[in-house]
Each structure stands twice: as structure tokens, then as C-alpha cells.
Structure 1
Amino acid sequence: MKKTAVIFPGQGAQHIGMGQELAEKYPEAKKVFEMADHALGEHFSEMIFNGEEAILKRTENTQPALLTASLAAWKVLESQGVKASYTAGHSLGEYSALTASGTLSFTETVQVVRKRGQFMEEAVPEGKGTMAAILGLDRDKLEKVTKQASEEAGVVEPANFNCPGQIVISGSVEGVNRAVELAKEAGARRAMLLQVSGPFHSSLMQPAAEKMKPELAHMDVNGQSMQVIANVTGRPVTKENVTKALTEQISSPVLWEDTIRYLLDQGVDTFIEAGPGKVLSGLVKKVSRQAVTLPVYDKETLEKAVEHLKEEEK
């Protein structure tokens, strides 16, 4: 029997107008955007649909906006009879996964991820931290590179294990720059700085993690309709350790490749990417070419995914 997982994108997938077509054509999506407006006490959906890119790119806006657009896509899929056994999200997307599974409520979560964005922005002064993508270097070699760079220049650590041959590093500007040099010397195919506002998923984010602890502790945690795979372990998260997983996630690496491999080992062969873009679908394909990936971000992709899933059931 075929098994399906729904996966949710993280920061970087956002763009003005995301989710707008779904909100205009499907009441389930429209309701999610209206709930975000109400929860945040502003015309938040208007900023997402017609605002300025620079304002959307602020982490405090990006994070709740992506959560809203992603959950809107999933709610429409659900209304079309789509079900999944597992769910996972990349970084911020883990909140989307927990909300889609019913573990967290959307109203509480959209408020909390706004604070998460604020805390992450405040953790490291602007211009002091950065990230870089390293292509074509395995984990062991890269961990040696980051260790040497940290000793020589400043904090730098692996941040996202995305797929074979693609790892993102994070830390101080000096540490990341030195690691980029060392990675090239060690045989990396490419090593390039990313346009980000901070050193996410590194130990420099610990102040944000500490601020998030009490926020997460106050959230209602419910049972799950789908098994949720945590970023920090690449394994299922239980109701009892949701808060711990989300706290650690801020300053720990995202084990995305491990997450996808775990899902494949459970027999998952179809991955629905609910939310803007198709970056995660590409990463899944790099782990397994046999996996079916169905990105859903507008009416056309939604109809295509639903049709495919119905054909598989026959």
C-alpha cells in the first residue's frame, strides 16, 4: 500500500502573492488567511498578497506568512479528501507540520512564530552572523572544516543537512568566510554565502532559544492525526517532547536528509509539498529518484496533485 507524507517549506520560500490564488478560489484557504489576520490583529494577508518584498522578508513577517500560506494549501488538500500518514517541515516548516497534524492550534502557532522571528532577529546583531551553502563535500569532511574554521576565525557550524552533497553552514561572518575558503580547499564543488539576516540553526541562536522556552511552554499540545518527524532528530516527535524539540531546533542543525531517509524507510513513496515553491521536492529527489513529489502552491498544482493521488488509489 502506498504511503504519503506532507512536507512544509521553511524560510526562503516566501514571495509576495503566495497563497493568493488558493484564497480566492477555495474557502478553506481564505479562512486560514482570515484567521491569521485576526490572530495578529492586522491586515496580515494584505501584506502577503500585495505588500512589499522587503517587509515580507523581515523574519518576524516571513515566518508567520509562510506558516499561513502552507497551512492554507494543506487545508484545501484536506477538503479534497487528501490524507497523509506522516508530516515534516524544514526549520520553520516544522511548525506548519505540527499545526497540520493537529498537535498545535493555528491561532496560537501563528502568534508564537511571529515571536520566534523577532527573537531570532534580536539574537545576533545585524551583520555579525551569516550562512553559506557547501556543495559536493560529505559530512565528515565538512565537520572537520567547520571545526578548523571555528578555531581559526570564529564560530561556524553545520546548520542544514539538506541532501547528499548539500549542507548549509552557519555562524559568525568571520567563521563562515574562513569555512568557505577551507571547504573549497577540501574539494567542495561550490561554496557560496547566502542572503540571510542571521546565523540560523547555530549555537549563536541560543539567546532566541531561551526566549522561546516560556512561549512554547504555554502552548496547548494535542494528539496527532499524522506522525510528525522532528528536525533535531530526524525521528518522530511525541506529544511529550514537542516543546523540547522546538526549543532545541532554533540552535541545532536541521537533519532534513535524515528525515527523508526515515520516511522512505517507513515505506513513504509520495511527498506532497504544501506551500510556496518546490525546493523541498528537489531535495527529496536528490535523496531518492524513485520518490513521487507533488508540490502544491496554486490551483493548477493542487488539481494535478489531487488527480495523481486519486489515480494511485484506483
Structure 2
Amino acid sequence: MKKIAFIFPGQGSQEVGMGSDIQEFSPEAKKVFTTADDCLKFGLSELIAKGPKEVLTETKNTQPALLTTSVAYLRLLEKEGISPTFTAGHSLGEYSALVASGVLSFEDAVTLVRKRGELMEEAVPNGEGAMAAVLGLAQELLEQAAKEVREAGDIVQLANLNCPGQIVVSGSVQGVAVLSEKAKELGARRVLSLEVSGPFHSELMKPAAEQFQAELANKEFRNAAIPVVSNVTAQAVTEGKQVANLLIEQLYSPVHWEASVRYMIEQGVDTFVEIGPGKVLGGLVKKTERSATVCFVNSVESFQETVQFLKEGDQK
């Protein structure tokens, strides 16, 4: 039998029209979208379906939109009786994982990520923060360079440790610019500025984290029915209170995605199912461990193919 992990994408995977096919295909999926509209008291489902793209891309809208779409696809797998050994999500995607693991209700999760998006947008004035992807440079070299930039008085840190040779850095505009130049000098293959609305997973998000703590205190965090692999620790967590504490840290701490994937593989996971729009995480898994099997659930067709593949293996 396959040992499966459900993994959920974060910001950057959104697109106008995502999930539209499954709403027609599945009443359970459609209900997720209408529930989101009811919880948020605005037409999120219409924004997802029709855009405009620039409004959907606003962090406060992207976060509930991606969560809603991912959970809608998740409901299809649950109806088929497919459950994983672990769940994990990249940054925002961790909230989808928490719904899959039974830690948060969808209703609580969608209102939380809406607030999380608002606080992240407000934490740093527009134009003062930046992020960049550094490709083809060893983590140790980049970490040392970031330390030197910080010692010189600028704010910058490693934000997303995605896979071998792909690290995202985050901080002030100046800090990211200086570190980007240092990375090129050290031999990075490429350094790409990212179009983001803030310096996520950096210490500049600490004001948002402090305010978000009050929001988390008002929600029920149940113990996980399925272990969730935390972005902060790259270890499985099951205790509800610990999950809530880690979500506060997650806002200003690095996303240890490569380490999370390696942890799940060490625990015997051989099949990763990316649930939600795009194929970003599946690509990162394959770059981390080429022998891992990756499936996608981002359309009716891919859902049907994945279910067939997963069930065939269990019947042998």
C-alpha cells in the first residue's frame, strides 16, 4: 500500500477561474465556495470565478481564495475515502492542511486566513519590503551572506527553503537588494525579484503576528486526527495548542519546505498528492527526492486520474 501525504499550495498558485469545473461536478465542492461567501460576507466565489486578477492577487483575497479552492478539491478525495498519513502546506497552505487533519473547521480557517492576509498587508507599508528567489546557491553560503547584511544594519533573512538550489529571501527593500548582489557574487545561478505585497516570513511580519495571536485565541484548535508537518519545525504536530503557537511563529519564520518533504519521506511517505491550483509543490518534491511519486488534484480530470491511481495500488 502507498503511504500518502496531502500537500497544499500557498500564495502564487492562484488563478482566476480555479475550481470552477468541480463546482459543477460536485455538490460538496460547491458548498465549500458558498460557505466561504457566507463566512466572509462577500462574494469570494465570484471573485475567484471572474476576477479581476489584480483584486484576486491582493493578499487578503488570495489567502481565503486558495484555501477555499484547495478544501473544495479535498472534499472530493474525502468522499472517495482516501486519507493520508501526513498533511502539510506551504505557508498559507498549512491552513488547508489543518482543515484536512481536523484541527480547524473550514469556517474558522477561512475567516482566519482572511484576517491573516489583512494583517500581513498592513504590517509593512507598500514599497518598503521585498522578496527574491535565489537559485543555485548553497544554503550555508546564503545564510552567511544574510548574516553579514544584517550586521551592516539592513533587515533580511532566508524565508522559504523550498528545495535544493531554491531559496527565497525576504526583508527590507535595501536588505534584499544588497543580499541579492552578494548572492550573485557568490555564484548564484539566478536571482529573481518576486512580485509580492510584503516581506513575508521575515521579522518585519512580527507586528502582524502579535495582532494575529488574538484572532487565533478565539478559534477552536482540536488535536489533529492526522499529523500535520509544521512549516516552522519540519516535524509532525498533533496537539492543537502547539499548532496555534506555531502558526504565530510561522508568520515571521522561514518555511522549511525541503526539510518537511525529507521528514515525510523518512517516515515512509512515497506518494505526495498536491491538492489545489497549480503544480508548484509537486515540482519542489521531485527536486528534493526524484524517486517520490507526485499526483495532482487541480481539476475534475486530475482528480479522477489520481483516485484511480491511488485505489489501484491499494487493491494489489
With the shorter chain as reference, the TM-score category is over 0.9
Deviates further, 180-189 or 237-246: 237-246
Deviates further, 275-284 or 138-147: 138-147
The count of aligned residue pairs is 314
For 1:7, the equivalent position in structure 2 comes to 7
* CA distance in structure 2 between the partners assigned to 1:58 and 1:306 by the alignment: 33
Q: Secondary structure at the match of 1:247?
A: helix
* CA distance in structure 2 between the partners assigned to 1:183 and 1:51 by the alignment: 37
* CA distance in structure 1 between the partners assigned to 2:19 and 2:2 by the alignment: 28
Deviation digits for residues 14-73 of structure 1, max 9, x if unmatched?
010111111111111101101101101122101101120011011000000000000001
* CA distance in structure 2 between the partners assigned to 1:281 and 1:115 by the alignment: 28
Amino acid of the residue matched to residue 311 of structure 2? K
For 1:209, the equivalent position in structure 2 comes to 209
Deviation digits for residues 68-109 of structure 1, max 9, x if unmatched?
000001111111222111100000000110011110011111
Is the CA contact (8 Å cut-off) linking 1:11 and 1:63 kept in structure 2? Answer: yes
Is the CA contact (8 Å cut-off) linking 2:101 and 2:227 kept in structure 1? Answer: yes
For 2:197, the equivalent position in structure 1 comes to 197
Is the CA contact (8 Å cut-off) linking 2:18 and 2:277 kept in structure 1? Answer: yes
Q: Secondary structure at the match of 2:87?
A: strand
Amino acid of the residue matched to residue 311 of structure 1? E
Deviation digits for residues 223-252 of structure 1, max 9, x if unmatched?
322110100000012223011100000000
Structure 1 residues 30-179: aligned runs within 5 Å: 30-152=30-152, 154-179=154-179
Q: Secondary structure at the match of 1:72?
A: helix
For 1:279, the equivalent position in structure 2 comes to 280
1:261 aligns with 2:262: yes
* CA distance in structure 1 between the partners assigned to 2:114 and 2:154 by the alignment: 29
* CA distance in structure 1 between the partners assigned to 2:292 and 2:23 by the alignment: 29
* CA distance in structure 1 between the partners assigned to 2:203 and 2:231 by the alignment: 15
Deviates further, 43-52 or 163-172: 43-52
Amino acid of the residue matched to residue 67 of structure 1? L
| Structure 1 stretches of at least 4 aligned residues deviating more than 6 Å after TM superposition | none
Q: Secondary structure at the match of 2:28?
A: helix
- Identity fraction in percent: 54
Q: Secondary structure at the match of 2:270?
A: strand
* CA distance in structure 2 between the partners assigned to 1:224 and 1:144 by the alignment: 37
Unaligned runs of 5+ in 2: none
For 2:294, the equivalent position in structure 1 comes to 293
How far the C-alpha of 1:153 sits from its partner, in A, is 5.9
* CA distance in structure 2 between the partners assigned to 1:252 and 1:85 by the alignment: 25
Structure 1 residues 212-227: aligned runs within 5 Å: 212-227=212-227
* CA distance in structure 2 between the partners assigned to 1:150 and 1:174 by the alignment: 11
Deviation digits for residues 267-291 of structure 1, max 9, x if unmatched?
0000000000000000000111111
How far the C-alpha of 1:147 sits from its partner, in A, is 1.3
Is the CA contact (8 Å cut-off) linking 1:149 and 1:182 kept in structure 2? Answer: no
Amino acid of the residue matched to residue 253 of structure 2? S
* CA distance in structure 2 between the partners assigned to 1:259 and 1:163 by the alignment: 10
How far the C-alpha of 1:188 sits from its partner, in A, is 0.8
Deviates further, 236-245 or 302-311: 236-245
Q: Secondary structure at the match of 2:236?
A: coil
Is the CA contact (8 Å cut-off) linking 2:2 and 2:310 kept in structure 1? Answer: no
Q: Secondary structure at the match of 1:252?
A: coil
Could you tell me the TM-score, scaled by structure 2's length? 0.98
Q: Secondary structure at the match of 2:84?
A: coil
Q: Secondary structure at the match of 2:69?
A: helix
Is the CA contact (8 Å cut-off) linking 1:153 and 1:178 kept in structure 2? Answer: no
Amino acid of the residue matched to residue 288 of structure 2? V
For 2:19, the equivalent position in structure 1 comes to 19
